[in-house]
């Protein structure tokens, strides 16, 4: 082969050029920075993100770190506990970027004293309070709608201190600095007050959890995957030299595939950070096919140069085809609505293509310099197993085809059982502190799942209009009746409390003020009495034309959250058409993301299918074979989702990209099997039965080994604490395993049934120049 000859003739330049490219690419790693903001999962034109940004621009950013405090004695209204909360509240003001602290102690309690409105901290100098005063404070807190199920639990055994941050935009280090400073404060408080158990939740804690999950994948799973691949290569190739060169190809593919995007300004997230692990896994197959053929040639007495050239000649087209189709599958992830998954697809696609290029250039050049001896045995257990499997499949092809079709249809019927659920708290495994702490907060206080509305009166000062406030009160009452709602924060409650205060704290006046003028006066008096840092700009805009209405939820699924958010919008349209409000918030954003992702990925999958099928038809020079290949290419993903629906029943945002990924990966098995089958039919003139046996004996072992390596790689990734990556890996590993089953037990019977016309040998060079698989009988 002329290409291989040129590579070997200029091998020193090939090696030097590779090293230079890799060195230049790795410089991009200096730009590596982990972006943990959950907003990174949304494109710039995402309508839910735009609505969320508008909400934060109108009020304040929702970057909150919640300290969840559980006293050992089970009682918050204890002088020691309240003194500790006072201390925590004061210390929290010293945290960098903190702009507001809300706690049970600094809650701005209002009451009347003669004709004056008194606004003061609910608890001051807690250590000096008598039991009677403590009981009074508890009574006030448990009867204050603004506090119950938000800052204090109904049983008064858990409370929270909420720290709101104004972190500079796009400042990754600032977010992490805020998080770890909060962690340090938590640790210091638990040390100073050993009777307190303090947990952390909120968006700042979630950003920290994103970072820790990604770091855990890279530092924990990465080395484990590397060692596993090293061991499997050593067992398969039985050559330290071949294994070592393979590892260089794998590492160089990662360096270029990840380094170049970093050069171009890639923003690494917890989803895209696993790209190197995927490239490592996928790059193995190219090396395996080339080295197996090379070692077999050496074992058959060929000179090393001749064996290298023959290996490249035999493997070049099939490896190129499988690499291109894999890259196509991953590039179709650009149809995802979530930028991190688009980045993941592009990085892996580049890494896969680089693995192919390095396998046919650097690997032959490098191996030519190194001492290499064949240690592969011609007869081993796997080869014997493949021969027996081929006999079994050929002998029972009719029964296998029937059973395979029936089982496939039955399995596919379970796909509708999968429910979309992107509860982003569940993006993290149950072992993580963030998942445990946030789940606890959702059960005892108001959790992170919220629906926020900016209810517009459509006139300046309109929030003081009694009719507006009455509609807010009705809206609040309606929401409180909905299942899963933990707390509702509305300005109507504040106005009703002020009206009661201004009427001598008479409970009969716990209602909306009678006139706009009175309401505006009460509001002004209240605002003037609030201390610095505890104003109401987080609940009302500057010109008093709109107010924020926040619904805190329990553990609802994303479908339930989306339905509830839409029901709230419908309520406004039907019962307060003069007002306007749209639902937003982190929970609402994620509830729409899976749906948008699925629509985009359906388009991507269809385009990928057309491109890959067209490529196979051209490469295999057979429309029939191209169409037959659709079954083993599409069916594994469908079967995987069917089994997932039967065993798990819930899919998330990451699951929506699995079909595209799997389509690109599993086509490798189909290409190698069909190319070997067609070679037997066209060149050797074998009938369908014999051609199937030839394909099994030639390529079966290599397909089995590479499938095991792929499943191992994705199986390691499935151990990630970041459940988006873990569920993606589990589904992919399942589909890859099923792809081998389909290629071994369903594709051959299908070929025997549909391609049983006799073929003669002696075809022209054009007709026989199809992608050919390496002979791997010694694999």
711-750 residue pLDDT tens: 998 899 899 888 888 888 999 999 999 999 999 999 999 9
Measuring CA to CA, how many Å separate 579 from each of 266, 345, 417?
42, 43, 39
Pairwise CA distance, residues 286 & 248, whole Å: 13
Pairwise CA distance, residues 536 & 522, whole Å: 13
pLDDT band at 758 (very low <50, low <70, confident <90, very high): low
pLDDT band at 232 (very low <50, low <70, confident <90, very high): confident
Six token digits for residue 759? 């073929």
Pairwise CA distance, residues 618 & 609, whole Å: 14
pLDDT at 760 over 60: no
pLDDT band at 374 (very low <50, low <70, confident <90, very high): low
Q: Enumerate the H helices of 332-396 as residue ranges.
A: 339-360, 362-369, 381-395
Question: What is the structure's pLDDT at 317?
Answer: 86
Q: For 512-556, how does the pLDDT look when each residue is reduced to its tens digit (9 = 90+)?
A: 999 999 999 999 999 999 998 899 998 999 999 999 999 999 888
pLDDT band at 706 (very low <50, low <70, confident <90, very high): confident
- Identify which has the larger pLDDT, 103 or 701: 103
pLDDT at 142 over 60: yes
Whole-structure pTM value: 0.85
Question: What is the structure's pLDDT at 767?
Answer: 37
Mean pLDDT over 95-113 rounds to 94
Q: For 624-661, how does the pLDDT look when each residue is reduced to its tens digit (9 = 90+)?
A: 888 888 889 889 999 999 999 999 888 887 787 888 88
CATH number of the domain at 64-201, please? 3.30.70
Pairwise CA distance, residues 698 & 277, whole Å: 29
Pairwise CA distance, residues 55 & 57, whole Å: 5
pLDDT band at 775 (very low <50, low <70, confident <90, very high): very low
Pairwise CA distance, residues 67 & 89, whole Å: 10
Question: What is the structure's pLDDT at 324?
Answer: 93
Q: For 546-584, how does the pLDDT look when each residue is reduced to its tens digit (9 = 90+)?
A: 999 999 998 888 889 999 999 999 999 999 999 999 999
Mean pLDDT over 486-490 rounds to 94
pLDDT at 171 over 80: no
Please, what is the end-to-end C-alpha distance for the chain in angstroms? 24
Six token digits for residue 596? 């948008």
Residues 682, 683, 688, 690: what is their CA dihedral angle, to the nearest 10 degrees?
Answer: 180
pLDDT band at 773 (very low <50, low <70, confident <90, very high): very low
- Percent of the chain whose pLDDT exceeds 70: 96
**Continuous segment of H or E residues that includes residue 381:** helix 381-395
Tell me if residue 760 falls in helix, strand or coil.
coil
Tell me if residue 504 falls in helix, strand or coil.
coil
- Identify which has the larger pLDDT, 598 or 312: 312
Residue 275 CB partners (closer than 8 Å, separation 6+): 257, 258, 343, 344, 347, 348, 351
- DSSP assignment, residue 481? T
* 352 contacts 323 by C-beta, under 8 angstroms: yes
- Percent of the chain whose pLDDT exceeds 90: 57
User: What number of other Cβ atoms are within 10 A of residue 54's Cβ?
Assistant: 13
Handedness of CA 502, 503, 505, 511 (dihedral sign): negative
Six token digits for residue 341? 């998954």
Residues 516, 517, 523, 528: what is their CA dihedral angle, to the nearest 10 degrees?
Answer: 160
Residue 489 CB partners (closer than 8 Å, separation 6+): 146, 150, 539, 548, 549, 550, 551, 552
Phi/psi for 67 (5° steps) reads: -90, 115
Pairwise CA distance, residues 671 & 629, whole Å: 8
Q: For 5-20, how does the pLDDT look when each residue is reduced to its tens digit (9 = 90+)?
A: 999 999 999 999 999 9
pLDDT at 763 over 50: no
Measuring CA to CA, how many Å separate 133 from each of 72, 144, 180?
22, 17, 36
DSSP assignment string, 239-307 = -HHHHHHHHHHHHHHHHHHHHHHHHTT--B-TTGGGHHHHHHHHHHHHHHHHHHHHHHHHHTT--HHHH
Q: Between helices 630-647 and 586-620, what is the axis angle to 10°?
A: 150
Pairwise CA distance, residues 332 & 346, whole Å: 9
> No. of H helices and E strands in the chain?
28, 12
Question: What is the structure's pLDDT at 771?
Answer: 40
Residue 720: alpha-carbon gap to chain centroid? 11
Q: Locate the domains of the chain by residue range.
A: 2-39+210-372+379-413+591-768, 64-201, 445-584
Residues forming beta bridges with residue 148, ordered by sequence position = 152
Question: What is the structure's pLDDT at 375?
Answer: 58
Question: What is the structure's pLDDT at 762?
Answer: 41
Mean pLDDT over 207-225 rounds to 86
Measuring CA to CA, how many Å separate 137 from each of 121, 155, 501, 590?
11, 14, 17, 39
- DSSP assignment, residue 686? -
Question: What is the structure's pLDDT at 731?
Answer: 92
Mean pLDDT over 50-77 rounds to 91
Asked which of 148-157, 229-238, 299-308 is least confident by mean pLDDT, the reply is: 229-238
* 629 contacts 610 by C-beta, under 8 angstroms: no
Asked which of 365-369, 405-409, 710-714 is least confident by mean pLDDT, the reply is: 710-714
Q: Which of 68, 61, 29, 31 is nearest to 167 (CA)?
A: 61
* 122 contacts 109 by C-beta, under 8 angstroms: yes
pLDDT at 335 over 60: yes
Residues recorded for the chain: 779
Pairwise CA distance, residues 745 & 742, whole Å: 5
Mean pLDDT over 333-355 rounds to 93
Pairwise CA distance, residues 583 & 564, whole Å: 10
Q: How many CA atoms, within 13 angstroms, populate the side-chain half-sphere of residue 347?
A: 31
Q: Over the chain, what is the mean pLDDT?
A: 89
* 698 contacts 293 by C-beta, under 8 angstroms: no
Pairwise CA distance, residues 471 & 459, whole Å: 15
Domain 2-39+210-372+379-413+591-768 sits in CATH 1.20.1640.10: yes
**Continuous segment of H or E residues that includes residue 112:** strand 108-113
Mean pLDDT over 668-672 rounds to 85
User: What number of other Cβ atoms are within 10 A of residue 409's Cβ?
Assistant: 10
């Amino acid at each position: 082969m002329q290409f291989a000859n040129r590579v070997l003739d200029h091998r020193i330049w090939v090696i030097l050029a590779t090293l230079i490219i890799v060195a230049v690419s790795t410089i991009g790693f200096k730009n590596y920075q982990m972006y943990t903001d959950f907003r990174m999962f949304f494109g710039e034109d995402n309508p839910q993100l735009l609505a969320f940004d508008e909400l934060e621009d109108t009020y304040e950013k929702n970057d909150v770190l919640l300290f969840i405090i559980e006293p050992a004695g089970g009682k918050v209204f204890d002088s020691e506990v309240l003194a500790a909360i006072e201390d925590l509240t004061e210390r929290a003001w010293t945290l960098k970027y903190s702009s507001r602290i809300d706690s049970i102690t600094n809650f701005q309690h209002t009451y009347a004293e003669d004709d004056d409105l008194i606004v003061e901290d609910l608890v001051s100098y807690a250590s000096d309070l008598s039991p009677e005063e403590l009981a009074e404070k508890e009574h006030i807190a448990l009867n204050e709608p603004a506090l119950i199920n938000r800052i204090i639990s109904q049983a008064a055994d858990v409370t929270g201190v909420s720290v709101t941050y104004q972190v500079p935009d796009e400042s990754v280090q600032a977010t992490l600095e805020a998080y770890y400073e909060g962690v340090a404060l938590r640790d210091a408080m638990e040390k100073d007050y050993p009777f307190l158990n303090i947990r952390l939740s909120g968006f700042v804690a979630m950003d920290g959890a994103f970072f820790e999950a990604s770091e855990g994948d890279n530092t924990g799973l990465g080395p484990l995957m590397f060692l596993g691949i090293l061991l499997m290569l050593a067992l398969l190739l039985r050559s330290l030299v071949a294994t070592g060169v393979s590892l260089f190809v794998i590492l160089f593919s990662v360096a270029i595939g990840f380094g170049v995007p970093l050069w171009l300004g890639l923003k690494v997230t917890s989803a895209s950070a696993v790209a190197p692990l995927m490239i490592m896994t996928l790059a193995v197959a190219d090396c395996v096919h080339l080295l197996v053929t090379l070692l077999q040639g050496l074992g058959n007495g060929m000179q090393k140069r001749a064996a290298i050239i023959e290996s490249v000649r035999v493997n070049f087209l099939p490896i190129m085809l499988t690499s291109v189709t894999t890259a196509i599958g991953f590039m179709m992830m650009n149809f995802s609505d979530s930028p991190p998954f688009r980045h993941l697809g592009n990085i892996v696609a580049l890494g896969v293509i680089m693995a192919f290029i390095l396998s046919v250039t650097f690997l032959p050049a490098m191996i030519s310099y190194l001492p290499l001896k064949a240690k592969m045995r011609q007869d081993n257990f796997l080869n014997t197993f493949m021969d027996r499997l081929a006999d079994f499949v050929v002998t029972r092809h009719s029964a296998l085809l029937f059973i395979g079709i029936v089982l496939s249809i039955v399995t596919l019927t379970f796909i509708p059982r999968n429910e979309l659920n992107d509860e982003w708290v569940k993006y993290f495994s149950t072992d993580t502190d963030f998942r445990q702490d946030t789940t606890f907060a959702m059960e005892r206080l108001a959790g992170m799942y919220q629906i926020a509305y900016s209810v517009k009166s459509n006139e300046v000062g309109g929030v003081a209009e009694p009719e507006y406030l009455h509609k807010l009160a009705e809206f609040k009452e309606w929401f409180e009746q909905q299942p899963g709602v933990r707390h509702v924060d509305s300005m109507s409650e504040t106005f009703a409390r002020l009206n009661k205060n201004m009427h001598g704290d008479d409970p009969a006046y716990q209602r909306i003020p009678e006139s706009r003028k009175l309401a505006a006066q009460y509001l002004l008096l209240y605002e003037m009495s609030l201390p610095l840092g505890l104003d109401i700009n987080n609940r009302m805009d500057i010109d008093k034309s709109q107010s924020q209405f926040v619904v805190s939820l329990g553990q609802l699924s994303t479908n339930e959250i989306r339905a509830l958010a839409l029901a709230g919008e419908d309520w406004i349209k039907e019962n307060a058409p003069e007002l306007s409000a749209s639902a937003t918030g982190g929970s609402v954003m994620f509830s729409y993301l899976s749906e948008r992702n699925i629509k985009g990925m359906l388009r991507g999958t269809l385009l990928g299918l057309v491109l890959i099928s067209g490529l196979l038809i051209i490469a295999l020079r057979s429309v029939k074979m191209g169409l037959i290949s659709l079954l083993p290419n599409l069916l594994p993903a469908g079967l995987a989702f069917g089994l997932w629906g039967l065993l798990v029943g819930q899919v998330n945002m990451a699951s929506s990209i699995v079909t595209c990924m799997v389509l690109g990966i599993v086509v490798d098995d189909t290409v190698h099997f069909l190319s070997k089958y067609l070679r037997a039919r066209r060149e050797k003139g074998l009938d369908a039965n014999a051609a199937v046996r030839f394909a099994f004996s030639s390529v079966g072992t290599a397909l089995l080994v590479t499938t095991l390596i792929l499943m191992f790689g994705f199986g390691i990734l499935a151990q990630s604490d970041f459940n988006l990556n873990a569920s993606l890996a589990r589904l992919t590993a399942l589909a890859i395993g099923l792809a081998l089953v389909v290629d071994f037990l369903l594709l051959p019977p299908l070929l025997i049934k549909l391609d049983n016309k006799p073929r003669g040998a002696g075809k022209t060079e054009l007709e026989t120049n199809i992608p050919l698989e390496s002979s791997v009988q010694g694999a």
